[in-house]
Amino acid sequence: MDGNILFAFSLTLIAGLCTGIGSLLAFFTSRTNTKFLSFALGFSAGVMIYVSMVEIFFKAQVTLTGVLGSPAGNWTTAAGFFGGMLLIAAIDSMIPEPGNPHEVKKVEDMRYRKNKTGGETELLKMGTFTALAIAIHNFPEGMATFIAALQDPALGLAIAVAIAIHNIPEGVAISVPIYYATGDKKKAFKLSFFSGLAEPLGALAAFLILMPFLNEVMFGVMFAAVAGIMIFISLDELLPAAKKYDETHLPIYGLMLGMAVMAVSLILI
């Protein structure tokens, strides 16, 4: 497992820095490619849902029933799964509404809003709150990716890819209002970049706090919780956002392709 630690940290860092990619995209386009974002978010949700229910939850259940026995292991798996859902739901409930990362934002919408209201201060506040909200949101995602990669590098890679994809529109959500409020691309990029660093910080917290206590039971519970977190993010954030970007069947096609790619990957790996 020690050989996987650096790999796990690297995955969380790469996934987190994809907010910076979203920030850069916002600077070099005049219109949001809603079809791409819709398909990408659907794809990300497909990867997360498939790997959570087919692989992560199953591994957690096998581990816990092997250690605790059938009734206790099954109950503990279910408790960990719904505990993960409740954790990410609680984090969402603490996020201020102006910075809710689930709200779909587009480049042209932000320009229109500034021209309409003249509210540079309001836009700056929105972008700052969004950066803070996404940083808070990214923290448990970093923990989840790190723990998954420690137990199974292939699973960690799959989760990191899915998180990286959905971090791109989050980078747009941070940088666009800040840029149109201040005209400072560097400031917009820095806030987007630093919010993404919450992913590796979450991994570091998992390493420092949880590693001394990791055993088969802890791994099983954490794996079940990771599955719950991924399912919640997919259903509460990714799919609704994908449908808002494009109301056709494009998000579902992305979802199906994400599941298919994950299925093939798990079979081959």
Q: Is 115 annotated as a binding residue?
A: no
Structure tokens at 3: 């050989």
Determine contact, residues 17/158, Cβ cutoff 8 Å: no
* 228 vs 142: CA distance, rounded Å: 14
Q: Is 166 annotated as a binding residue?
A: yes
What share of residues in the chain are helix, strand, coil (percent, to 5)?
90, 0, 10
Q: Is 237 annotated as a binding residue?
A: no
Q: Is 167 annotated as a binding residue?
A: yes
Q: Is 170 annotated as a binding residue?
A: yes
Structure tokens at 15: 């996934």
Helices then strands, each counted (H, E), the chain: 12, 0
* 144 vs 140: CA distance, rounded Å: 6
Distances (CA, A) of 102 to 133, 229, 234: 10, 15, 11
Q: Is 199 annotated as a binding residue?
A: yes
Cα angle, residue 224 at apex, residues 223 and 225 outer, rounded to 5°: 90
Q: Give residue for tokens 């609704």.
A: 240
Phi, psi dihedrals of residue 249, rounded to the nearest 5°: -85, 5
Determine contact, residues 198/91, Cβ cutoff 8 Å: no
Annotated binding site for Fe(2+): 138, 141, 167, 170, 199
Annotated binding site: 138, 141, 166-167, 170, 199
Annotated binding site for Zn(2+): 141, 166, 170
